Amino acid sequence: MYRRTISTGVALVPDSLRFVESRNSVYAATTDGRVVAVRLFDGRLVNLGAGYTSPVGVVSLTDGLRLVVAESSGAILVVARDTANRQHARLLAQLPAPVLGLDEHPNSVSLLVLSDTSSDGQLLPQLLQCDLTTGDISVVATDLDGARSLVVDTDRRSVLVLSVLADGSRTLTTIGLDDGAVDTVTTEAYDHFTSAPASGALAVFATRSDPASPGNDTLTYWQGAEAVVEPIPGQVDGLTRWGSLVLIASGADLHAVEWDIDDGQVPVAVPLGPLAVTGYARLLVDLPAAGLAVGDVSYTVREGVGAGAISLGVEPPNPDGTESVMLLAGFLTGEFHVEAISVADGSTLAVRRFRVTTLWPDDVSGPPIALTGDVGATLMNWGGTGGVAGYRFPTPREWRVLVVLLFLKDRDYGDTESATRDEWKQRVMGDGESLRHYYEEVSAFVANAHGMTVKLVGDQVFGPISVNRGWGDVFKKKGGVNDGWQSTPQGKIEMAGAVSTFFADMAGGAAQISLADSFVFVVRSGSDDPIPMGAGNPDLPTKYVWGHANPSVEFWRKVTNPDTSFTFTQFQRPVTFVTDAFPAAAPNSNVTRTLCHEVGHNLGLDDLYDAHGDFPAEVNERAVGAVDLMGSSQKLPHFSLANRIALGWIDRNWLRRFDFTANPTGGNVVLQAVETIDAGGPSGGRSAGIEVPISDDWSYLFEYRREQSGQIGDQELDPAVDPGSTELIAGTDLRFRGGDVARPPILALPRDADGDGPVLDSDGQDYTDSDVTNPERMHDFVLRLDPIRSPDNDSAKIVVEYLEAHRPQLLVHPAPGNGNFKSPDISLTGPLGLAIPVVVKGATNIIKITVHNVGSLDATQTQIHVKWLPWTLTPGDWRDLDDPPVFNVPARGRTTLQVPWPLPASVPVGDDHVEAQHFCVRVDIDRYHDPAHPDEEEIVVFDNWAQSNFGTAAVGFGSPSDRLSTAATATNRLARKATYLFDVHQDTPWYRAYLGHAWLDLAPGETRAIPVAYESLAGDPVHGDDFERNLEWILSHEHHLVVVSSLLPEDTACGSPRRVFGCGLTLRTGRRVLIDEAGHDKEVVFARVAALRDGSWGPVPSGQFNLAAWPDDDPARVAVSHGHISNGRGSTLIPRNTLQDLRNGRPTSFTLGRPGDNTYITAVTTPQSLL
């Protein structure tokens, strides 16, 4: 049978093995007193704890938080899984007889313990039940003569006990857990066993010595009699199983045997660990070993598309003749089969099992994921011209929320279900303080005209839905014992999978789940108090969810087609996670207000406070607090002016804008209290706010806030914002920029020189913005309140005065974000020029940079620095290029220059040396110092950098598609360990993207590579027909693929991820083109230009044929010529300079290219020598 082996290097205690599915590991005790986990997914041995005396068994409890270890002396110990040394264990019970083994009862609240004969002989072996809370012992079965080991058969609700009698014979005893029935049968001379999958009668996997091979054992399947026998090298110490995968300890090895799956005629290597739902894995097929070649074998998933599929994307062939097959996991979990089929005769050459899970076992590296088409992932919403202008992602008129009740193995809803469902419907839709009421109020909702209301999908709260996991499998503790828990990246997937399955099985469920704009998961708390772990050990925290949100969680839906087949579709939606109610030991917070805050995240807003010291102290001092719901949810403030603009509820035209760069004058303004502005905007000549743009993505905003009777929001301005005052002018600083995790997007303005601001509440107070207030500013101004409540209580008069500042101000515009990560001031050109703007490795490329001066004084002797790195999802370690010469930038003008970029022929990334194909470029401008005007130093430096993190690529097909691979990097620049999440967005349904990790846990300063690949759906076995029907549209349109990163905050009031940065690709597809057979005569370079159609290469009839050549000792001196293609042959003249170099014997390299069009993709050759 197909077998793989992990070398553990340790001797395991016989019969102590237990497979823990949530960790994809075999847990066992070792002969030297340790508790270990052998991880199947990466083959590593992990030490969980040490210091035990003769341990005989270990059980991972279903709560996912604790282990139980039994020592042969009769001690039963409970210990936290994360700190599992003996010194931290609590003695649960001390038995009067030695322990032979133990397992968890299926009821999850007790243990089943097999005890031996007592030392005084008064007690014979017996099966005991031990309460996990009290340690109380009760007897389940007695007189189990010769008992050696036990296994719980959960499917049959029974305990199996293997006994060795005095005469050496063996028996197997079945003890029913529900009825106590005992049945004993005689078996062969088995030494070790575990349960086996079967319907009906008792079945086990068991091992015994092999009489034909002394010193070795055999594995057999027994169901009343032996069925199949498999030889095992060495003597077996114990076994367990994961479905049909039998896991056998023998000495220092762990053998994994796929029962009833043989090696087959062709070797196929599959992962031992699981695939994540909608994940992928590369299978390596050794075709030469079977005398076969690529194309001789096809591959299929036996159980259909719900289980998985095979991508037919074409990659460069492996040099050794092996084939890499891309297996795509489907939406269903369990065991499935991939088959290798002979193309010649249809025979099955090999079968392999693969397993799919929703709970990825690795906490450090997330699973590989594949995303087909536009799954609705949210994008970063930062950047844009004019500060406020780009900070806008308006809401729909109706936000449809789907609310579900969830519970884990720890505790169900019981008799609280009905009341909880009614309570949460009121929290969402009630007339009092509710989600709907708050958002209608703060948005000035008018049906079909303005603002936003909330709708409850199905007009009901769905569920309860069982999430068949323990608390610690899906949540991680937030802080102290009563601070709650937050979902892990894999926990979000697990819960969303349970919800998807629930609606897939429900009549009309596909239609209901499709309506959701976001989800609210109301999770039943798992305990009312902390869980005691014994004297001297910290308690485990009270098990309840602290409110948090996630912008993109993957779901799936199943639609029944007219022919009764099923279509599975993946999609992503934002999710809010909240507790059903705060337990008695938890802080008494208002869950409805938490819900309003978290839905703000679902709408795209960031938290406005610090997380684990990620921001510097001077930033934290300027937190907006209760000026904005995203800064302080429990006071239920309205959103600040910036966030109202972002959500589309305040029109920018309702603001009075003072752009001092364009018009250096002030003016008088009357502000209307924003709480009173309705769908028609401010009335009576008043303004909704004041905007002072500082630079392209930076603005100051001022607004008038006043408590309004009858509203539910903004009722605690006194004392939460301004003690003693219920009306005030609030000044905020809006800057939403990716690339640096330096600040939240909205801050309170700093205090000015006389201590006023950022909150003004008395006549005559002012906010003065100057070099003292903010030395990074270009223009100085004063904003004075004079007076408040004038001409009525809901109005405030403001005077704005401009103060002159005559200085240069240099900038390069940042990437606008929202899926566009290309700075408009940075562009890349390859050696073939603008006709084929493809970056070529092994050649000198050109970076074109434009520097602007928006100040009023010329900038002379300006210096910039240019650096690059492979495609990056976070700020990383840059590689410097040579500085260009200094240059001048005129006042209110710009200067453009070109910087050569010699790109190495190979750019490997990460430990796996994935070859990078796309790159990021950054430009920094030195702070400007003019020796001719020493007092007129540049003020703003924050604008003096920008980066372009993008690429263009052509995805060819000849049916099927090419699959192109690259890598992106992620670097943790924080001083703490941090988890980064990665999401993929695509804007058409015709491509599939592969991401090597859904998340990464990075140490301070650590950089990891994330493999990225992409392909069109041309020739795809599932989507290929739809692709062909839409081919004309696909060929004429670009496709945009974006990968964005988010940072998980730690030890903060809200654990919602913060967007960090992203990288983008623009893709075009067309017929695959090949340029080869290049040569030249005295003056002309020529080559074959062919395209693939239906598996055959044919001539490209026409098109441009371009040449770029350069001397090897001066690669920046590139010469370009343009020729033509005729009936598959391209030719072009050799440039005059290149001809002279060749005549002089100067070594020269070249590349050839054909621009893409609506039929053929762009083709560029690898640089080679022009001999």
DSSP secondary structure string, 1000-1040? EEE-TT-EEEEEEEEEE-TT-TTTHHHHHHTHHHHHTS-EE
My answer on whether 292 and 329 are in the same domain is yes
My answer on whether 522 and 499 are in the same domain is yes
pLDDT for 770: 65
Calpha distance 160→176 (Å, rounded): 9
My answer on whether 110 and 132 are in the same domain is yes
My answer on whether 554 and 475 are in the same domain is yes
pLDDT for 775: 45
Any bridge partners for residue 903, and if so which? 843
Are the beta carbons of 670 and 797 closer than 8 angstroms?
Answer: yes
Domain that holds residue 289: 268-357
Note whether residue 745 is domain-resident: yes
Which CATH number fits the domain that encloses residue 880? 2.60.40.10
Nearest to 311 by CA among 813, 926, 1023: 1023
My answer on whether 1017 and 895 are in the same domain is no
Nearest to 270 by CA among 280, 279, 281: 281
* Domain total in the chain: 7
Which CATH number fits the domain that encloses residue 1152? 2.60.40
Note whether residue 377 is domain-resident: no
Backbone angles phi, psi at 422, to 5 degrees: -65, -40
My answer on whether 534 and 568 are in the same domain is yes
Other Cβ atoms within 10 Å of 480 Cβ, number = 13
Calpha distance 472→526 (Å, rounded): 10
Note whether residue 373 is domain-resident: no
Note whether residue 380 is domain-resident: no
Nearest to 1151 by CA among 1169, 1130, 1165, 1171: 1165
pLDDT for 237: 97
Are the beta carbons of 1082 and 419 closer than 8 angstroms?
Answer: no
Note whether residue 1006 is domain-resident: yes
Q: Is omega for the bond preceding 758 within 30 degrees of 0, making it cis? A: yes
My answer on whether 941 and 968 are in the same domain is no
My answer on whether 239 and 295 are in the same domain is no
Nearest to 84 by CA among 700, 583, 540: 540
Domain boundary, last residue among 927, 951, 975: 951
Backbone angles phi, psi at 289, to 5 degrees: -65, -25
Which CATH number fits the domain that encloses residue 1055? 2.60.40.2310
Q: What is the mean pLDDT, run by run of 10 residues, along the chain of 1171 residues?
A: 96 97 97 97 97 97 96 97 96 95 93 88 89 95 94 94 95 94 95 90 94 94 90 96 97 96 96 96 97 96 95 91 96 96 97 96 95 71 45 85 97 95 98 97 96 97 96 92 93 96 94 96 96 92 94 89 82 95 86 96 87 74 92 94 93 93 90 97 97 83 96 94 93 73 82 82 89 52 93 96 79 73 85 86 93 86 91 80 94 94 88 80 79 49 60 72 88 89 89 94 92 91 91 89 85 80 84 94 94 88 96 93 96 95 94 92 93 76
Show the tokens assigned to 1143: 């005549």
Calpha distance 691→659 (Å, rounded): 8
What is the b/e burial string over 622-642, where b = at least 16 CB atoms within 10 angstroms of the residue's CB? bbbebbbbbbbbbbbbbbbbb
Note whether residue 391 is domain-resident: no
Which CATH number fits the domain that encloses residue 112? 2.120.10.30
Any bridge partners for residue 240, and if so which? 247
Q: Is omega for the bond preceding 960 within 30 degrees of 0, making it cis? A: yes
Classify the phi-psi angles of 244: left when phi > 0, otherwise alpha if psi is within -120 to 50, otherwise beta. Answer: alpha
Place of tokens 């030719």: 1131
Any bridge partners for residue 354, and if so which? 336
The H or E element spanning position 616 is none
My answer on whether 552 and 660 are in the same domain is no
Are the beta carbons of 322 and 288 closer than 8 angstroms?
Answer: yes
My answer on whether 780 and 637 are in the same domain is yes
Other Cβ atoms within 10 Å of 142 Cβ, number = 12
Note whether residue 263 is domain-resident: no
My answer on whether 446 and 495 are in the same domain is yes
Nearest to 837 by CA among 725, 950, 756: 950
Mapping DSSP onto H, E and C, the string for 663-729 reads CCCCEEEEEECHHHCECCECCCCCECEEEEEEECCEEEEEEEEECCCCCCCCCCHHHHCCCCCCEEE
Domain boundary, last residue among 787, 805, 823: 805
pTM score, two decimals? 0.90
Calpha distance 76→86 (Å, rounded): 11
Calpha distance 389→1066 (Å, rounded): 24
Are the beta carbons of 622 and 635 closer than 8 angstroms?
Answer: no
Note whether residue 586 is domain-resident: yes
Tell me the angle at which helices 591-602 and 435-443 cross, rounded to the nearest 10 degrees.
Answer: 60
Are the beta carbons of 437 and 497 closer than 8 angstroms?
Answer: no
My answer on whether 855 and 726 are in the same domain is no
Domain boundary, last residue among 333, 357, 381: 357
